[in-house]
C-alpha cells in the first residue's frame, strides 16, 4: 500500500510517494519513498516537471597548453628572422 507524504523544507513543500515493502531477511516491513516533485501550496498537488529541450551544442575549444606552446614557438621563430 502506498500514500503521498508532503514534506516541508525551508518553507517549500515537496511530495513523496511512500510504499511499504516486506523485508524477508529482517522479517519486518520497510518503507521506500519516491520523489514526486515540489508541491503547489494552493492546490497541494505536485507540480509536473517540464523538460527543457536540448539546444544545439556550441563549439567548445579547449587547446590546453598547446595554444601557449604554438604561440611561443611561432614568436620565437619569427623573432629569429
- Along the 81 residues of the chain, how does pLDDT read in single tens digits? 788 898 888 988 999 999 999 989 989 999 999 998 899 888 888 888 777 888 887 777 776 778 788 888 888 888 776
Asked whether 46 and 23 are in contact (CB, 8 A), the reply is no
Asked whether 2 and 18 are in contact (CB, 8 A), the reply is yes
| Claim: this prediction has a pTM higher than 0.85 | no
For the record, the C-alpha cell of 75 comes out as 614568436
33-41 long-range contacts, CB within 8 A, separation 24+: 33/5, 36/4, 38/12, 38/13, 38/14, 39/6, 39/13, 39/14, 39/15, 41/13
Amino acid at each position: 500500500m502506498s500514500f503521498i507524504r508532503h514534506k516541508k523544507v525551508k518553507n517549500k513543500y515537496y511530495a513523496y510517494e511512500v510504499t511499504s515493502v516486506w523485508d524477508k531477511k529482517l522479517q519486518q516491513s520497510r518503507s521506500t519513498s519516491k520523489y514526486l516533485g515540489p508541491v503547489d501550496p494552493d492546490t497541494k498537488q505536485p507540480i509536473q516537471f517540464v523538460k527543457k529541450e536540448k539546444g544545439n551544442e556550441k563549439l567548445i575549444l579547449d587547446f590546453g597548453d598547446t595554444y601557449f606552446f604554438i604561440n611561443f614557438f611561432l614568436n620565437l621563430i619569427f623573432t629569429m628572422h
